[in-house]
């Protein structure tokens, strides 16, 4: 058979490095599409002038363009036969991605654990995105539950990696040259700086977006993500197309501009759960909670650790979990990340 059936649980071996296919050169076209697909307004990614005033040579592409591009390439090798996308950890943005860069991805299998039912298992990979100079632009750990092809295949020795609960502030990598001492909040649209946010503070981002099929499919294809359930309504018994979880991440992050406009760059992904599926017709909203704060070595730059929650129609204010600790049905996403902010 010439087509790619995807890998099954028994096809992974510990320590294996998987080189993912289809390198991709990005341009101003991806930026324009990102602005059309999401209500993204962070000034550092929108304006070359603003980025230069912050010490960068030009506006980098949105940090989530880098994430989606790197992630999309892993799908044919990692998650084509996945039953569930279980989690993220130890994500760090290592270099900005600029128009003209060519991005590719590779993953190392760092953990394997067969489920007790014997028909599936959990695969842990550390994925790195690389640019045309061979420099890492992004790395993160993801673990997914993958079907076995043959339930009789022997279980591998169980190895579960020891993952950090969150990226320590001193492990954050700052873009070379970043300097917020001349940062102009007027051009950003909000006056609130790092010092204005307190740990425990919660922000309702107010705005909402009703999602269309065409939008999430355009976005998901743009990242060359090939998972069938996003595009083909015959894949699920209910005839619905499941929206790529990364689409919800980008929507929520863009919505969080209203209240976190100065949280300019995402520099670390601590954890993330796609709590419930999202479908076309849902109206997505977002709220954030400040989890932690840290200083950084760059002039005028502070870091804020944020929980970003996406919810849909019918969610109560700051909806998250029920008393049993289970995500409420209206909760779509619970993401934990570090962003940079002017002090």
Phi, psi of 103, rounded to the nearest 5 degrees: -110, 135
Q: Which is nearer to a second copy, 214 or 324 (CB)?
A: 214
> Is 277 near a second copy (CB under 8 A)?
no
Which position among 55, 60, 76, 111 is part of the footprint of a second copy (CB under 8 A)?
76
Structure tokens at 277: 């599926």
Q: Is residue 41 at the binding interface for a second copy, with CB under 8 A as the rule?
A: yes
Dist CA 82 CA 67 (whole Å): 19
151, 118 Cβ separation under 8 angstroms: yes
Q: Which is nearer to a second copy, 46 or 166 (CB)?
A: 46
Work out which of 14, 86, 92, 99 binds a second copy, going by CB under 8 A. Answer: 99
Binding residue for a second copy (CB under 8 A) from 9, 12, 56, 59?
59
- Which runs of consecutive H residues, i.e. helices, occur in 95-157? none
State the nearest-atom distance from the C-beta of 194 to a second copy, in Å. Answer: 13
SS3 36: helix
Asked if 70 touches a second copy (CB under 8 A), the answer is: no
Side-chain-side CA neighbours of 52 within 13 Å: the count stands at 5
Helix, strand, coil content of the chain in percent (nearest 5): 20, 30, 45
Is 39 a binder of a second copy (CB under 8 A)?
yes
Query: Considering only CA atoms, which of 113, 110, 159 is closest in space to residue 139?
Result: 110
Q: State the DSSP H helix or E strand holding residue 202, giving kind and residue range, or none if neither.
A: strand 202-204
Select the span of 87-95, 121-129, 222-230, 328-336 touching a second copy (CB under 8 A).
222-230
The smaller minimum CB distance to a second copy, of residues 19 and 159, is found at 19
Judged by CB under 8 A, the residue of 37, 54, 308, 335 near a second copy is 37
Q: In the range 198-217, which residues lie near a second copy by CB under 8 A?
A: 203-210, 212-215, 217
Let me know: does 253 contact 272? Beta carbons within 8 Å.
no
21 interacts with a second copy by CB under 8 A: yes
108 in contact with a second copy (CB under 8 A): no
Residue from 74, 114, 127, 226 binding a second copy (CB under 8 A): 226
Distance CA 24, CA 31 (A): 14
What part of residues 238-257 is at the interface with a second copy (CB under 8 A)?
241
Residue 84 corresponds to which tokens in the numbers above? Answer: 């569930």
Minimum Å gap between C-beta 282 and a second copy is 10
């Amino acid at each position: 058979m010439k087509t790619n059936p995807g890998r099954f649980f028994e096809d992974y071996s510990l320590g294996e490095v998987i080189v993912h296919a289809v390198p991709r050169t990005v341009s101003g076209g991806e930026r324009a599409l990102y602005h059309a697909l999401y209500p993204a307004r962070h000034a550092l990614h929108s304006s070359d002038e603003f980025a230069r005033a912050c010490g960068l040579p030009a506006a980098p592409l949105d940090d989530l363009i880098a994430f989606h591009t790197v992630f999309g390439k892993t799908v044919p090798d990692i998650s084509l036969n996945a039953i569930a996308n279980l989690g993220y950890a130890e994500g760090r943005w290592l270099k900005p991605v600029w128009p003209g860069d060519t991005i590719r991805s590779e993953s190392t299998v760092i953990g394997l654990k067969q489920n007790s039912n014997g028909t599936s298992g959990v695969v842990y990979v550390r994925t790195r995105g690389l640019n045309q100079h061979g420099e890492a632009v992004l790395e993160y750990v993801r673990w997914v539950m993958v079907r076995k092809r043959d339930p009789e295949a022997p279980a591998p020795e169980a190895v579960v990696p020891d993952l950090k609960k969150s990226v320590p502030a001193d492990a954050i990598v700052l873009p070379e040259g970043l300097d917020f001492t001349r940062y102009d909040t007027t051009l950003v649209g909000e006056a609130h700086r790092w010092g204005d946010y307190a740990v425990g503070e919660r922000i309702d981002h107010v705005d909402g977006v009703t999602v269309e099929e065409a939008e999430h499919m355009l976005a998901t294809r743009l990242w060359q993500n090939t998972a069938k359930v996003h595009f083909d309504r015959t894949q699920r018994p209910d005839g619905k197309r499941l929206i790529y979880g990364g689409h919800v991440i980008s929507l929520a992050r863009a919505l969080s501009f209203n209240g976190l406009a100065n949280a300019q760059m995402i520099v670390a992904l601590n954890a993330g759960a796609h709590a419930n599926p999202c479908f076309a017709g849902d109206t997505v909203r977002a709220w954030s909670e400040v989890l932690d704060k840290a200083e950084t070595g760059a002039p005028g730059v502070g870091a804020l650790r944020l929980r970003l929650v996406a919810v849909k129609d019918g969610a109560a204010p700051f909806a998250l979990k029920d008393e049993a600790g289970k995500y409420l049905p209206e909760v779509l996403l619970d993401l934990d990340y570090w962003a940079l902010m002017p002090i």
